[in-house]
Amino acid sequence: MDSGAPQLNGGRILVVDDEATMRRLLEKLLRLEGYDVALASSGEQALQEVFSRGADTVLLDMRLPGMSGLDVCRNIRSHPRGLHTPIVFITAVNDRELRRKGMEAGADDFLSKPFDEVELLARIRNSVRVKRYYDNLEQQKGALARAIDDRTTELAAAVAELTRMQSELRASHEETIYRLSRAAEFRDDETGQHLQRMSWYCHLIGSKIGLSPSTCELLRIASPMHDVGKLGIPDRILLKPGRLTPEEFTIMKTHAEIGYRILHGSTAAPLEMAATIAHTHHEKWDGNGYPRGLRGEDIPLAGRIAAIADVFDALTSARPYKPAWPLEAALDLMRKNAGSHFDPHLTDVFLTHIDEVLAIRDRFVDGHPEPHPESVALVG
């Protein structure tokens, strides 16, 4: 075991629920796993516990008498002691709007009643690990501050390492998603830079049409998983060097549905959006796409954005089986297919800001072509 990993034994869990039966159930389950458990039946009691004694994770019922779970979450997040405390909402209703409000209030995760004990314990373990990482970082900050007078040079190096650790912690979720995306790309030898370019093209389009910064960031994180469903396509089809037969192409098209099934059902916003993108980035504005033949604005916005980003990068990228299209030829094709393949408004936005698109392309240049047997076609 890595000696630098935080130790999870004895983690302090605060259970906040107005139902005594639920409090006792969670207390018994968590104590059997070696956790120190504190109980609160109201929002006021919960805040007193967090502010006075702290917690490694808060299990918080969304519906409390008096102060609501959302208000408790906001108050915890506004206090220095609760800034990095993982908060897991427990709710008896699967309400997307309520979950969205929970995320905005500062929640880290959600569990639905009745919950699976194994899933609960896994999420608690991960939450405690995150909290311990934050605690370790804060302790290191204090040690560095005390050494600053006589160890300036060493301090500078340590601060750099601390910053790196903080960045890695913030990026851990994104990194997991990216690696899942690369697993699919490795199967058909696509380049990693394709994922980077596509994700930033999506971010750019989102920002130019006025989406919030957080939504644009979700687009950037989620879009690399657009082809994760290729993990379910047989090698004899995915790696076929020649043109696919109609029957083979029918099987290839199932990667959109497979990707959706892999990603759908998560409570994590990036994975929810990734499921939508995987399912709909091959739909076409005129209804001639797949897998469902959606038309116009019936296609989710994230899927329409990803379609433009994916096709443009495929056209303008060189591969062993094809040269890159000249820029003007690629742009001309995008214009001609606005209103048939692509959302015409989004296409116009993309082309209007082509200088910024090209800056992204220049930032993430393929180091050298990687083999990719499958032909790229606009319909594919």
Q: Which residues contact 77 (CB under 8 A, 6 or more apart)?
A: 83, 87, 105, 106
Q: Measured between alpha carbons, how far is 309 from 89 in angstroms, rounded to an integer?
A: 35
**Identical fold between 12-140 and 187-363:** no
Taking residue 25's Cβ as centre, other Cβ atoms within 10 Å add up to 15
Nearest to 217 by CA among 165, 171, 270: 270
User: In the prediction, which pLDDT does 155 show?
Assistant: 54
CATH 3.40.630.10 fits 12-140, yes or no: no
**In the prediction, which pLDDT does 189 show?**
53
pLDDT in tens, the chain (380 residues): 444 444 445 689 999 999 999 999 999 999 999 999 999 999 999 999 999 998 999 999 988 988 999 999 999 999 988 888 999 998 877 778 888 888 899 998 888 888 889 988 998 998 888 888 887 887 777 776 666 666 666 656 766 776 776 566 555 556 666 666 656 565 555 556 888 899 999 999 999 999 999 999 999 999 999 998 988 889 898 888 888 899 999 999 999 999 999 889 888 888 899 999 999 999 999 999 999 999 999 999 999 999 999 999 999 988 766 789 999 999 999 999 999 999 999 999 999 999 999 999 999 887 644 333 233 333 33
Residue 39 forms beta bridges with which residues?
A: 15
CA angle, residues 344, 377, 262, in degrees to nearest 5: 85
Residue type, 305: I
Residue 9: the pLDDT is: 55
Q: Name the pairing type of β-strands 87-91 and 36-40.
A: unpaired
Spatial separation of the C-alpha atoms in residues 141 and 144, rounded to whole Å: 5
For residue 153, the model assigns a pLDDT of 66
Cα radius of gyration (the chain) = 24
In CATH, 187-363 is 1.10.490.10: no
Domain boundaries of the chain, sorted by first residue: 12-140, 187-363
Whole-angstrom Cα distance, residue 142 to residue 270?
34
Is the bond preceding residue 241 a cis peptide, omega within 30 degrees?
A: no
